[in-house]
Structure 1
Amino acid sequence: MIPIPPHSQPTSHAPLIELLAQYPLFAGLPPEVLARLAEGAWAQSLGAGETAFHEGDSATHYLLIVTGQLEMVRFSQEGDEHVFQSFGPGSLVADAAMFMQHGRYPMSSRASSGPLTIWRLSGAALRATCENHPPLAMRLLQRFSLRLYHRVNEVEWLTSSTAQQRLAAYFISLRKQQGDELSFPQSQRHVAAQLGIRPETLNRLLADWQSRGWITGSRRKWQLCEAEPLERMAEGKARPF
């Protein structure tokens, strides 16, 4: 019997199986495979700032986000916080950690805005299902390979681009998801850390772009008034495939 943590709900797995069937990684899998993936899962709700797992914890479950935002965080030896990525509804998180030999989460995760509703899915069930249903294992290999490819591209972009180019690419990526009215999923301090620039540099660039009439807004809410200059600056991030 898997223990139920605080703020969790021991609910029927039927809603989870429906969600899994809609997720691209699991779409089209036989019902019995989806049912096996749902074994040992539970729903959980977290408030803003609450942690889903800590770096170094035993990696027993991966997460499917239903509502809210989850951010991945690491702390340096000096105690500096680095936000690596933010995930929203429909995202699958920490699935790769279920296959790491050391068996631990490589970073921490927490709710960046509450409430956060997640399903905790069993890593043991995922591994067993891959052994018994090889097509799922192949899908996961494709997913992990593509993710690695994107990370290599991001490292190259971070080391070869300017702060202005990285911020422009960030705005353009948000525009593809949200349109011209943009909302940062994180605070400006976290956005600066994610882009590898200083908070004061971020503030200076935002002020400069506002003076040029390219954007308007403040804090997390922005209106993109003129996209072409930012698109030109972000061109270097595009890859041929």
Structure 2
Amino acid sequence: MTTRSAVTRRRVPLRSTCAAPHTCPPSVRMAVLSHVPYFASLPPEDLTQVDNRMTALSWAEGDPLYQMGDRAEHLYVLASGHVKVGGTTAAGDESITDILSPGQLFGTMMTLGEPVHTDTATALVTTCALRIDQQSFRDILTQHPTVALRVLDDVAARLARTKSGMSRRLANTVPQRTAAALLTLADTVGQATDDNGTLLQLPLTRADIAALANSTPESVSRTMSEWRRSGIIDSGRRWTAILDRDRLTQIADGTVS
């Protein structure tokens, strides 16, 4: 079992030190773009053309990259850092739909059928992203039909994920939703530990995890405190460690309580 001190020793301070615009080395930009599903199969010369249409920018921890209701005029490719994406429920509570890692593309634009942003993207730590405007993206779609086809597939997949996520959130219990949220974070931003655990080292509060799980901070706090006593997880300021992934998976599936 991972002890609190063992996890604490792995902690690296997270600080806000960004400035915009940001100078991102060409090799880093190309490496990031090559992992974006839209552009993954493009030859180097075509990828360079895509990169030439991108602008590198950075944001400090807590800064919004864009906000709900803003005109949707850009797509973003995360180069470094982490970003949370979410909005506000009808009751005024925060809802987080995703935590993004380097290499992921996010945002929207009229070209994808959305004239305004329906969510807010906020830097969790100092973050750098490559941004492309609508006309430049249209030019890429015209020049590269394979990219256009992938965009259509992605739009359909987004709709399917949204419907599936809404169904799960309505049907599952608080422990199931909380376990599913932690497992999703483990898969996207987790770091393997020496004892086969997974460390989530992000400045996420219980309120943030509650927003991911579509629950209240009080309910999630009670659930996670119980799991901590049972040795399923451990946690501290700005980190959570998953110690028993199998048990957490069973809880998410509803096979154990």
Q: Same fold (TM over 0.5)?
A: yes
Matched, 1:47 2:60: yes
Q: Cα deviations across residues 63-112 of structure 1 (Å, max 9, x unaligned)?
A: 11111111223245775433332212111111x43524563222222212
TM-score (norm. length: structure 2): 0.76
Distance, in Å, in 1 between the alignment partners of 2:233 and 2:60 is 32
Contact 1:62–1:98 at 8 Å: present in 2 too? no
Matched, 1:154 2:165: yes
Structure 2 residues without counterparts, runs of 5 or longer: 1-18
- 1:3 is matched with none
Say which SS state the counterpart of residue 7 (structure 1) adopts: coil
TM-score (norm. length: structure 1): 0.81
- 2:16 is matched with none
Residues 18 and 223 of structure 1: is their aligned pair in 2 closer, same or farther, counting only changes over 3 Å? closer
Distance, in Å, in 2 between the alignment partners of 1:221 and 1:12 is 30
Matched, 1:191 2:209: yes
Deviation at 1:195, TM superposition (A): 0.7
1:121 to 114, 129, 132: 132
Equivalent AA in structure 2 for residue 217 of structure 1: S
2:199 to 154, 166, 182: 182
- 1:229 is matched with 247
1:201 to 198, 202, 219: 219
Contact 2:112–2:155 at 8 Å: present in 1 too? no
Deviation at 1:62, TM superposition (A): 1.1
Distance, in Å, in 2 between the alignment partners of 1:105 and 1:154 is 19
Range that drifts further, 202-211 or 102-111: 102-111
Say which SS state the counterpart of residue 55 (structure 1) adopts: coil
What's the C-alpha RMSD, in Å, of the aligned pairs?
2.8
Say which SS state the counterpart of residue 82 (structure 2) adopts: strand
Say which SS state the counterpart of residue 234 (structure 1) adopts: helix
Contact 1:17–1:35 at 8 Å: present in 2 too? yes
Structure 1 residues without counterparts, runs of 5 or longer: 1-5
Distance, in Å, in 2 between the alignment partners of 1:175 and 1:208 is 19
Equivalent AA in structure 1 for residue 64 of structure 2: T
Contact 2:83–2:123 at 8 Å: present in 1 too? yes
Say which SS state the counterpart of residue 182 (structure 1) adopts: strand
Distance, in Å, in 1 between the alignment partners of 2:222 and 2:91 is 26
Deviation at 1:201, TM superposition (A): 0.5
Deviation at 1:18, TM superposition (A): 4.6
- 2:15 is matched with none
Residues 148 and 102 of structure 1: is their aligned pair in 2 closer, same or farther, counting only changes over 3 Å? closer
- 2:70 is matched with 57
Residues 10 and 210 of structure 1: is their aligned pair in 2 closer, same or farther, counting only changes over 3 Å? closer
Equivalent AA in structure 2 for residue 108 of structure 1: T
Percent same amino acid among aligned pairs?
24
Residues 76 and 196 of structure 1: is their aligned pair in 2 closer, same or farther, counting only changes over 3 Å? closer
Contact 1:215–1:224 at 8 Å: present in 2 too? yes
- 1:24 is matched with 37
Say which SS state the counterpart of residue 49 (structure 1) adopts: coil
| Count of residues in Structure 1 that have an aligned counterpart in Structure 2 | 230
Equivalent AA in structure 1 for residue 34 of structure 2: A
